[in-house]
Structure 1
Amino acid sequence: MFLKNALDISHKTVKQIVVQGDIVVDATAGNGNDTAFLADLVGDEGKVYAFDIQDKAIENTRKRLTVKNLDKRVILIKDSHENMDKYVPYGVKAVMFNLGYLPGGDHSIGTKPSSTIRAIEKSLALLNPGGIIMMAVYYGGDSGFEEKEAVMEYVKSIDYKKAIVLVHDFVNQINCPPIAICIEKVGL
């Protein structure tokens, strides 16, 4: 099946544009799956900046990278993704977000609408023209509805002269399936 879920769409899309030597960002490191995926794509000459606010997420990501011998390609940053402009240089090819809470972690700690929207704005400023932001928006159950609505309203308001926004929403599935959002920065 080509369109399995939001994460699969995110990975397939990012894999089409990221090459060895690129600078990329994992805005929500979590358990390190996307960080390792990105580190593999950028190769030894590239760099991944991975953000999370939780010690457990940073440690889980560090362990995953070490096991896969990818740790030298990644800078782990224990800070909110809304502060990425303090750490990441201009010239980013891709930024990945998985919104929600840390799988296997405390559901009361998760991404929030205001910091996520600021992180999207900063991501757009750091992207090269043609660069993308890929988001998997997890919501449902006990969290995420407010963030989903705020993010959807925000991305609809992005000036089409600055970026193109595509939303993949699985409308015939049960239990609030994650939504994939792709934002491509337009060349200036």
Structure 2
Amino acid sequence: MKSMVDLSHEFLKPVLHKQAICVDATLGQGKDTYFFLSQNVHKVYGFEIQRDVFESTKEQLDDQKTCFYNVGHEHMEEYIHEEVDAIIFNFGYFPHGDHGITTQSSSSVSAVRQALKLLKVKGRMALVMYPHESGQEEAKCMEEFLKTQTSIQVQKIQNLLVDHCPYLLLIEKRR
């Protein structure tokens, strides 16, 4: 079976084109940014809060099509002033870094709220949720927030046989 990240990429692919504007809201090592660039998109915004991870990824993926920021994703409205075709979030912690530094419910919900405003009609967003011990509350808050939104469609994809494993929330903006 495919990973949740692979499934998220498949979901986002139909909205990626030469003029597409994309957001990698949790940059990490840049795997999602690399995916966007491999689809020959116009621009990728990336956000990463951990300075060392940010510097390393920026050095590896620095490209005229990228705009990277060493700030939390909850500040994206301050940096993005155009409509966006595709957005991806991988919540939780950086697997090869300090596991004590994790995304938080309040900033993550704020970031997704901003992302929904930036997303074009028919644009797509993928949220990869990691409901580990500290991520369970974040996942619950995110789902509660999304249930209040009337301008989107949301699908949840998860492994039925494994508790507390990563799962996907796939979003398409309707209006």
TM-score, normalised to structure 1, is: 0.88
Identity of aligned residues (%): 35
Deviation per residue, 1:34-64 (Å, 9 max, x gap):
1111122244xx1100001111221232233
Separation in structure 2 between the aligned mates of residue 12 and residue 56 of structure 1, nearest angstrom = 30
**Does 2:161 align with 1:163?**
no
**In structure 2, what residue type is equivalent to 1:182?**
L
1:55 alignment partner in structure 2: 51
Native 8 Å contact 1:24 1:92 kept in 2: yes
| 3-state SS of 2:36 partner | helix
Give 1:154's aligned residue: 145
In structure 1, stretches of 5+ residues that fail to align are none
Q: Structure 1 residues 148-157 or 89-98, which shifts more?
A: 148-157
Query: Residues 25 and 48 of structure 1 are in contact (CA less than 8 Å); yes or no, is this contact kept in structure 2?
Result: yes
Q: State which of 151, 166, 169 in structure 2 corresponds to 1:178.
A: 166
Deviations for 1:138-167, whole angstroms, at most 9, x for unmatched residues? 122x431111111121112212xx111111
The CA deviation at 1:72 is 1.7
Q: 1:94 Cα shift?
A: 0.7
1:33-112 alignment runs, 5 A limit: 33-43=31-41, 46-66=42-62, 71-112=63-104
1:80-112 alpha-carbon deviations (Å, 9 max, x no partner): 111101111231001100000011111111111
Question: Could you state the TM-score of these two structures normalised by the residue count of structure 2?
Answer: 0.94
Please provide the CA RMSD for this pair. Answer: 1.4
**Residue type of the alignment partner of 2:148:** S
Give the Å deviation of 1:173: 2.5
Contact 1:100/1:110 (8 A) holds in 2:
yes
SS at match of 2:17: coil
Q: Please give the secondary structure, in 2, of the residue aligned with 1:49.
A: strand
Q: Partner letter of residue 58 of structure 2?
A: R
What CA deviation, in whole Å up to 9, does each residue of 1:105-143 have, x standing for no partner? 111111110011111111111111000110110122x43
Given that 1:51 and 1:77 are in contact with CA atoms closer than 8 Å, whether structure 2 keeps it comes out as yes
Corresponding pairs, count: 175
Segments of 4+ in structure 1 off by > 6 A? none
* Separation of aligned partners in 1, 2:143 and 2:128: 12
Q: Give unpaired runs (5+ residues) of structure 2.
A: none
Question: 1:63 and 1:126 mapped to 2: Cα distance?
Answer: 27
CA distance in structure 2 between the partners assigned to 1:56 and 1:177 by the alignment: 27
Separation of aligned partners in 2, 1:17 and 1:98 = 19
